[in-house]
Structure 1
Amino acid sequence: MSVQENIRTLDSHGIAGREIARRLGVSRDSVTKYTGQQDYSPKPPTPVPRPAGSVLTGFEDTMERWLGEDQQRPRKQRHTAQRVFDRLVAEQDYLGSYSPVQRFVKKWKAQHRHAGEGFTELVWPAGTAQVDFGQAEAIIAGTRQVLHIFVVTFPFSNMRFVQAYRGETAECVCHGLRTVFDHIGAAPRTMVFDNATGIGRRVGPKIVETKLFGAFKLHYRSESRYCNPYSGNEKGNVENAVGFLRRNLMVPEPEAASLQGLNDVLLARCLALAKTVHYRKGLPVGELFAQDVAASLALPGVGFDPVRYESRTADKTGNLLIDGNTYAAGSSFHSRTLTVGLRHDVVEILDEQATPVRSFPRAFGRQTETIFEPASLLPLLVTKPGAWSHSQLRPLVPDLVRDWLDTATATNRRRLLSAVDAASGSAGFDAAIHAADLLIQRGDTPDIAALGMLARRLADGSAPPADNVDLSVYDIFTTTAGTDTFTTVTTATGEIA
């Protein structure tokens, strides 16, 4: 611009074009061009056309036909630029490179885009929450696990909460929502979901929700809304939050002794987000979130118990099939119809009078082995001690107890199993089997009385030392050949000497 400005300045002073060219060292054509230009207003950039003779010459009609036919196909089954290139090479003997094809497809799609395509910016009122799941790894009790991270966001304030679960069931969703509700002291008026959250599905205008989530909404008086399938942009705030929380709260992988411990840490870290400033509104997130809470609903006097009850009939071995996994209720429950209570982390089995009889950690994914409580196998083994050799219980006991039972007679085996069964009722199976192990180490007979007393002391944390007691100190009160003997003499006064 400085050269052009100098040309026009000298021209405005009436200096001839030849002199201007000589002074500035430019051509006379340049002087004529810039002195004769009338409009210097900015112009929009225009694309520079590529030279003629493209390698696509002769292929344009074929590509346009393929892309035009795509308009009648499902969105996820249309041609990409790579697919167009592959077909040209395979079917049309195209010898050119990929880049011209990619540019052609991009230009064609831009020119044929409908006016209604694209996304619109959504405005969310205070008191609205968005819900979604993602996945992340964490180390629980020393074991690396892939967890499902449950994320709840409030798009008005951009406040975000996360909890980790082992599945994406309705029980997990309801438990996670209750945790967030109890934490903030309110329930959002509207919750936005998609079809992947396990509590409901939208197919066209029809929405089908699980009974558990229906009861959850009644409990808190909240409303639900579901996105169109494959339209994550309709809840973009939580979609972005899933990635944000995974990168910022779970890198490196967090470690915890239990899943509940991890969730306590995650909830505490989410609170720190309230101190940040909203990316657009320029106010602290915590200040905006106060408006979210104020616009939400008050909590009822009692929290919702997210449990789903179902009826199951046990097979002839007392096992129940629950969500594709086998749980052992116990042989005494064979062929009986029981009630199963499913929570996010626990499977509870109840008898015909709704009395709890078994409780198991809930398994997610397909388990190849039957899930059982060791104590539930004891009554059958007492009745049938010969089944010990192939029992599921055998690999779970200490080596000394296993060896003792392997070599014991049927009577002694039944006696020890009966003692462990009796002690398990009051002290628990772990304490009972530990007591049996200690008694065998000492060389004592593991009868019911001794094992039960020791198991209760182990359960209470007041176990005696494991070492054998040295009774040799009492040898001085005994007599042997060639030694003095003690004689009991009664004196005249009746005293013993």
Structure 2
Amino acid sequence: MSVQENIRTLDSHGIAGREIARRLGVSRDAVVKYTGQRDYSPQPPAPMARPAGSAMTGFETTVEEWLSEDQRRPRKQRHTAKRVFDRLVAERGFTGSYSPVQRFVKKWNDLHRQAGEGFTELVWPAGTAQVDFGQAEAIIGGLRQVLHIFVVTFPFSNMRFVQAYRGETAECVCHGLRTVFDHIGAAPRHLVFDNATGIGRRVGTKVVETKLFGAFKLHYRSESRYCNPYSGNEKGNVENAVGFLRRNLMVPEPEAATLQGLNEVLMTRCLALAEATHYRKGLPISELFAQDVAASLALPGVGFDPVRYESRTADKKGNLLIDGNTYAAGSSFHSRTLTVGLRHDVIEILDEQSTPVRSFPRAFGRQTETIFGPAALLPLLVTKPGAWSHSQLRPLVPGPVRDWLDKATATNRRRLLSAVDAASGSAGFDAAITAADMLIQRGDTPEIAALGMLARRLAGGTSPAVENVDLSVYDIFTADAFTTVNTLTGEIA
């Protein structure tokens, strides 16, 4: 029993205070204190006052004015404790440390919070998906790259999907959503975004969506909703999933030959997560996700093609400016108005009859050099073979072909370039230039007919085997087979 309890017990038996002090070996003051106390109900802890004076003495009014003015400012442009400390030192000659300033600002903010501040737990019905982007590094084709990871989560089941892209455009969003929709065989009824990144722009409280994303929603009959960009808790499931997937699927950095290969790996790893148990509901995620799919919409009979078409006029060199980067359509298209198809990974150029004429890998970010396809440069070089020495094509061809063209006359150079150009139309530039390289190394003249036939065989995967052929078997035709006897004279001819 505690000393206090012993004192109270002896006092209840009518024993005098002097005797209680003697028996328990405590002071008479302690006996008087505990026998005289009437209320032993628990009390809240009293704040501990810091000893001595605060370094903030004399600065309280200034800081309170600054913090009060913050209430009228945007949330992201208000004073932090560090900013208050810096201003006090620079403007008011404050000589104290950062700690008392931090404590003062925290106490003031705690006392002046609005009643509606804080978070509330949200309930998400089955068939609802949340969408967001994050960033992570991966190694693609041996090169380390910063990728934009597109995350789609289903908060009812906590199922998560991720795909990687090189940008955050509407084409990337629509392609990523279609990939998930096709994989699960259904389209969520509601899509929740925190802002209009990639699929539109926010003007005040109104979001203006792009035509492409509007067409995407019409195609799948899904609805979109945009939460407050400053309130991540409104779509906290996907916010947490971005970090979770980055830590668990992309540490260490995944490696793949292509971005498509990486996305296939990521999708497989996401499916493995479905075998886990829901952190709160105690059921397998795969079982709960089946309810998400059942509450979603059926897919239409055809998948949505996430491409955006725009009109562009080529300059005098046949170049087009697309998203700040220059693409070479070819000199034959100079000053013509063409159609440009923008996909998440490809830029496609179509002529006035909407026939595809060029295709380029899509570049994200500002590129300093013109983006071109080697085949686009061939027609101009056929017309002007003298430009070969300083052409952008010259560093891209194999050494034997480059040396042959460097030494060739203008006529022979034109003939080879014309042959490669003709073969590129049916077999592709890579097969055509490989065919030219093989013919030159064999010592043959790279004529149009021979080069075209070899390029088509290379493109079709039936390239001739390189081997030494034994021709000695044909010697019989120069000896026995052609040996005859003259029947009149009997002489061997």
Task: Give the Cα–Cα distance (whole angstroms) in 2 for the partners of residues 377 and 220 of structure 1.
Answer: 42
| Cα shift at 1:335 | 1.4
Partner AA of 1:451 in structure 2: L
Rate the CA distance shift 1:23–1:476 in 2: closer, same or farther, 3 A: farther
Q: Following TM superposition, by how much is the alpha carbon of 1:424 offset from its aligned partner in structure 2, in angstroms?
A: 1.8
1:188 aligns with 2:188: yes
Distance in 2 separating the partners of 1:491 and 1:414: 59
Equivalent position amino acid for 1:128 in 2: T
Against the structure 1 CA distance between its residues 272 and 496, is the aligned structure 2 distance closer, same or farther, given a 3 Å change threshold? farther
Alpha-carbon contact 1:307-1:343 (below 8 Å) kept: yes
Aligned AA (2:96): G
- Partner residue of 1:429? 429
Report if the CA contact (8 A) 1:202-1:226 is conserved: no
1:437 deviates by 1.5
1:323-372 CA-partner distances (Å, limit 9, x unpaired): 11111112221111111111111111111111111111111111112112
Change (3 A) 1:273 1:475: closer
Distance 2:128 2:140 in 1: 33
* Pairs within 5 Å for 1:380-399: 380-399=380-399
Sort the Cα spacing of 1:370 and 1:60 in 2 relative to 1 into closer, same or farther, 3 A. same
Aligned residue number for residue 89 of structure 1: 89
Change (3 A) 1:197 1:493: farther
> In the alignment, does 2:110 pair up with 1:110?
yes
Pick which of 169-178 and 223-232 moved more: 223-232
Q: Which residue of 2 aligns with 1:483?
A: none
Pairwise CA distance, 1:489: 6.1
Residue 210 of structure 1: how far off its partner (Å): 0.2
Q: How far is the alpha carbon of 1:31 from its aligned partner?
A: 3.1
Give, in angstroms, the shift of residue 14 of structure 1: 4.9
Residue identity matched to 1:338 = L
Deviation at 1:493, TM superposition (A): 11
Following superposition, the deviation at residue 466 of structure 1 comes to 4.5
Which has the higher mean CA deviation after the structures are superposed, 246-255 or 268-277? 268-277
- Counting only pairs closer than 5 Å after superposition, residues 321-360 of structure 1 correspond to structure 2 as 321-360=321-360
Instruction: State the Cα deviation string for residues 76-110 of structure 1 (Å, max 9, x = none).
Output: 22222122222222222222222111111111111
Please give the secondary structure, in 1, of the residue aligned with 2:357: strand
Hey, what's the Cα distance between the residues in 2 that align with 1:206 and 1:87? 37
Deviations 1:164-195 (Å, cap 9, x if unpaired)?
A: 11110000000111111111111111111122
* Inter-CA distance 493–120: structure 2 relative to 1 (3 Å threshold): farther
Q: Compare 195-204 and 360-369 and name the one that shifted more.
A: 195-204
SS of equivalent residue, structure 1 residue 83: helix
- Kept after mapping to 2: 8 A contact 1:327/1:370: yes
Which residue matches 1:254? 254
1:72 aligned counterpart, secondary structure: coil
Separation (CA, whole Å) in 2 of partners of 1:496 and 1:418:
54
**234-243 vs 71-80, which moves further:** 71-80
Percent identical across equivalent pairs?
88
**How far is the alpha carbon of 1:405 from its aligned partner?**
0.6
Separation in structure 1 between the aligned mates of residue 18 and residue 491 of structure 2, nearest angstrom: 152
Partners of 2:214 and 2:112 in 1: how far apart?
44
What is the deviation of 1:117?
2.0
Equivalent position amino acid for 1:249 in 2: L
Does structure 2 retain, via aligned residues, the 8 Å contact 1:201–1:226?
A: no
| Residues 30 and 461 of structure 1: CA distance in aligned 2, closer, same or farther (over 3 Å) | same
Tell me how far apart the structure 2 counterparts of residues 421 and 319 of structure 1 sit (CA, whole Å): 19
1:440 matched to 2:440: yes
What CA distance in whole angstroms lies between the structure 1 residues aligned with 2:276 and 2:362?
Answer: 38
- How many residues align? The count is 491
Residue aligning to 2:211: 211
Moved more, 443-452 or 240-249: 443-452
Partner of 1:298: 298
**Aligned positions of 1:5-84 closer than 5 A:** 5-51=5-51, 53-84=53-84
Q: Distance in 1 between matches of 2:116 and 2:379?
A: 70
Residues 231-242 of structure 1 aligned to structure 2 (within 5 Å): 231-242=231-242
Could you tell me which residue of structure 1 aligns to residue 273 of structure 2? 273
Shift of residue 374 of structure 1? Answer: 0.9
Match of 1:160 in 2: 160
> Which blocks of at least 5 consecutive residues in structure 2 are unaligned?
none
Q: Is the 8 A contact 1:194 1:201 kept in 2?
A: no
Instruction: Judge which range, 17-26 or 231-240, deviates more.
Output: 17-26
- Pairwise CA distance, 1:406: 0.7
> Alignment partner of 2:71: what SS?
helix
Which piece of structure 1 moves more, 121-130 or 19-28? 19-28
| Cα 1:476–1:23 shift into 2, 3 Å | farther
Q: Which amino acid aligns with 1:314?
A: A
Alignment match, 2:408: 408
Structure-2 change in CA distance of 1:149 and 1:231 (3 Å): same
Alignment correspondent of 2:310: 310
Partners of 2:403 and 2:306 in 1: how far apart?
A: 45
Shift of the 97–462 alpha-carbon distance from structure 1 to 2, 3 Å rule, reads same
What is the distance in 1 between the residues matched to 2:31 and 2:489?
A: 150
Give the whole-Å Cα distance in 1 for the aligned partners of 2:490 and 2:214: 88
Question: What is the CA deviation profile of residues 400-453 of structure 1, one whole-angstrom value per residue up to 9, with x for unaligned ones?
Answer: 111111111101111111221222223221122112212222222222232223
Distance 1:21 1:14 in 2: 13
What is the identity, as a one-letter code, of the residue corresponding to 2:37?
A: Q
Counterpart-to-counterpart distance in 2, 1:200 and 1:428: 38
Post-superposition offset of 1:285: 1.7
1:482 matched to which residue of 2? none
* Equivalent residue, structure 2, for 1:377: 377
Letter in 2 for 1:385: P
SS of the residue 2:151 aligns to:
strand
TM-score normalized with structure 1 length: 0.92
**Residue 483 of structure 2 contacts residue 492 of structure 2 at CA under 8 Å; is this kept in 1?**
no
**Which sections of structure 1, spanning at least 5 residues, go unmatched?**
479-485
1:174 is aligned to 174
Specify whether residues 488 and 448 from structure 1 end up closer, same or farther in structure 2 by C-alpha distance, changes over 3 A only.
Answer: farther
Q: In structure 1, how many angstroms separate the alpha carbons of the residues matched to 2:376 and 2:459? A: 19
Deviates more, 1:168-177 or 1:178-187: 178-187
What TM-score does the superposition give when structure 2 sets the normalisation length? 0.92
Distance 2:230 2:443 in 1: 69
- 291-300 vs 468-477, greater mean Cα deviation: 468-477
Greater mean alpha carbon deviation, residues 151-160 or residues 211-220:
151-160
In structure 1, distance between residues paired with 2:245 and 2:492: 85
Separation of aligned partners in 1, 2:205 and 2:434: 60
1:457 aligned residue: 457
Instruction: Flag the 1:123–1:232 CA change in 2: closer, same or farther, 3 A.
Output: same
Kindly indicate whether the alpha-carbon contact (under 8 Å) linking 1:161 and 1:270 is maintained by their aligned counterparts in 2. Answer: yes
1:195 aligned counterpart, secondary structure: coil
